[in-house]
Amino acid sequence: MSKANPLDILKSALLLEIRGQAFYKKAAQQAESQAVKDFFETMASEEVHHIEILSKQYKTVKADGQFSAPAIEGTPTNVAEAVLADSLKKRISAAGFESAAISAAMGMEERAIKLYAGRAEETDDPQEKALYKWLAQWEGQHLAYLSRIDREVTETIWNDNNFWPF
């Protein structure tokens, strides 16, 4: 097993998820349209799900010194439906708060993926590896959705303002 302390990794993971949940919750409060509020609230609730899983693992590792078979089920399907909704993209201005929040969220998701994928590679513990692979995949989906929104909003602004060089 890697020299990194599994409890320290879990604490870092929990901190990332708690910060993400707080960020998405605040973004939902600041959003002007209901579609955007709903999107950020969905993202916040998914972070809560991750917090619950990581908290249980932390307690188990602290008590027993090893990971338990994680209850890792579900995919971020609600986010996919929200992202595909044109009403969401139409409500996000490329120069507005929501767009800035999307950009900031992309950075948070990238950090989470780096932590989770890195730990999944480092560890020899199959339960720990499964947990972090699942989390990296889930956060990868979040990043893909956020990137898609960012790209489509940017392209809309470019089209509307004739920014294309051709």
Judge whether 166 lies within some domain.
no
Can you give the CATH number for the domain in which 26 is found?
1.20.1260.10
Rounded to two decimals, what is the model's pTM? Answer: 0.82
Judge whether 162 lies within some domain.
no
**Residue range 13-25, pLDDT digits in tens:** 999 999 999 999 9
Per the model's pLDDT, the better-predicted residue between 36 and 1 turns out to be: 36
| Average model confidence (pLDDT) across the chain | 83
Using DSSP, how many helices (H) and how many strands (E) does the chain show? 6, 0
pLDDT bin (cut points 50, 70, 90) of residue 84 is: very low
Judge whether 165 lies within some domain.
no
Query: For the chain, how many structural domains are there in total?
Result: 1
Supply the DSSP string of 112-156, one letter for each residue: HHHHHHHHHHH---HHHHHHHHHHHHHHHHHHHHHHHHHHHHHHH
Interatomic CA distance for residues 40 and 31, integer angstroms: 9
**Residue range 58-82, pLDDT digits in tens:** 999 999 998 987 666 665 555 545 5
**Residue range 117-128, pLDDT digits in tens:** 999 999 999 999
What's the chain's Rg over C-alpha atoms?
A: 18
pLDDT of residue 150: 83
Interatomic CA distance for residues 4 and 129, integer angstroms: 14
The amino acid occupying position 80 is A
Domain residue limits at 25: 6-68+75-157
